[in-house]
Amino acid sequence: MIISMTAFASAEYFQNGITATVEIRGYNSRYLDLLVRMPASFGALEEPVKQMVSARVQRGRLEIRIGIRTEAGETERFAVNEELADAYFRALEQLRQRYQLSDPVSLEHLARFNGIIETAETEIAPEAVGEVLRTAVAAALDDLVRMRENEGRSLAADLAGRIDLLESWISSIEQQTEGLLEQYQQRLKERIAALTRGLVEIDPARIAQEAAFLAERSDISEELVRAKSHMAQFRELMASPEPAGKPLNFLLQEFTREFNTMGSKAGSADISHIIVSAKSELEKLREQVQNIE
């Protein structure tokens, strides 16, 4: 199944004087990477949020921003540790006088020290927030999954069109390889005649032998069979209910290997031109597959 890893979703839920807001942004990633930003006083709820997300999403980098508000306003409060601030101030003032510095000790200097400004305890227990937050996260995930699936359908249509194009080029290559032995025989006769100016009699048996050798060395029938098999498997993966990103990426590597081999063995300029175009299309496919879960 083609599901995009890039998406954005948000949700908000209010109950019993508590409002939870959730924003989720999805990006490409080789693995599932979750980054949750939420008020420190509700840090105990971070792991349940991650479990909810990982149950719905298998791959991608997700940045999850969570806000908690009450009817009285934001739940995040801050307090000043005055004793610690006084101690830091005295130490800085002592250094200023010792080294005869003219600049006074400023608030900016004090703000650099950890512990002077601390998060105050909230009056709302995390347990009271849990139900509200879970409902908001579930709604945001529903929206995220829907957007990823919608974007996935657009990606699937693009991939299908590119696979159809590759298939048509493979058919063209197959047509070009028909009668290849006769082409080599004719080419050898023309070259020998040009070199000898018709003064040497051409041995038909030797020409046939050399042409057969060239044709065998340039034979790409096995590569064509494997490439067609890869295309059939590509379509099966797209239609499968399972996430297809990783297996499709691996399959494209096999595709590229087959076309590289065909390019090195092909004895026809027309076939070489088709293979160059096919490899360019494979690169576009690879870029698109990077967006798929």
pLDDT of res. 217: 58
pLDDT of res. 150: 94
Which CATH fold would you assign to the domain 7-75+125-148?
Answer: Ribosomal Protein S5; domain 2 (3.30.230)
pLDDT of res. 174: 80
Where do the domains of the chain lie? 7-75+125-148, 77-120, 152-289
pLDDT of res. 141: 97
Beta-strand ranges (E) seen in the chain are 7-15, 18-27, 32-37, 60-70, 73-74, 77-80, 117-120
pLDDT of res. 101: 86
Q: At what angle do helices 46-54 and 126-177 cross, to 10 degrees?
A: 30
pLDDT tens string, the chain, 293 residues long: the values are 899 999 999 999 999 889 999 999 999 998 999 999 998 878 889 999 999 999 999 999 999 999 998 875 555 567 788 888 899 899 988 988 888 888 888 888 888 888 888 765 555 666 778 999 999 999 999 999 999 999 999 999 999 999 999 999 998 888 877 655 566 556 655 665 566 665 556 666 665 665 455 555 567 778 888 999 999 999 999 998 888 999 999 999 998 999 888 887 776 778 888 989 999 999 999 999 999 99
pLDDT of res. 186: 60
Q: CB of 25 within 8 A of CB of 8?
A: yes
Q: At what angle do helices 245-265 and 221-239 cross, to 10 degrees?
A: 160
pLDDT of res. 270: 81
How many Å apart are CA 14 and CA 133, to the nearest integer?
9
Q: Which residues does 254 contact at the CB level (< 8 Å), separation at least 6?
A: 226, 230
**Residue pointed to by tokens 């945001």:** 140
Strand 60-70 and strand 73-74: pairing?
antiparallel
Residue 187: CB atoms within 10 A of its CB come to 14
pLDDT of res. 12: 96
- Between vectors from CA 116 to CA 112 and to CA 121, what angle results, nearest 5°? 130
pLDDT of res. 6: 93
Burial of 82 (0-12, 13-18, 19+ CB in 10 A): exposed
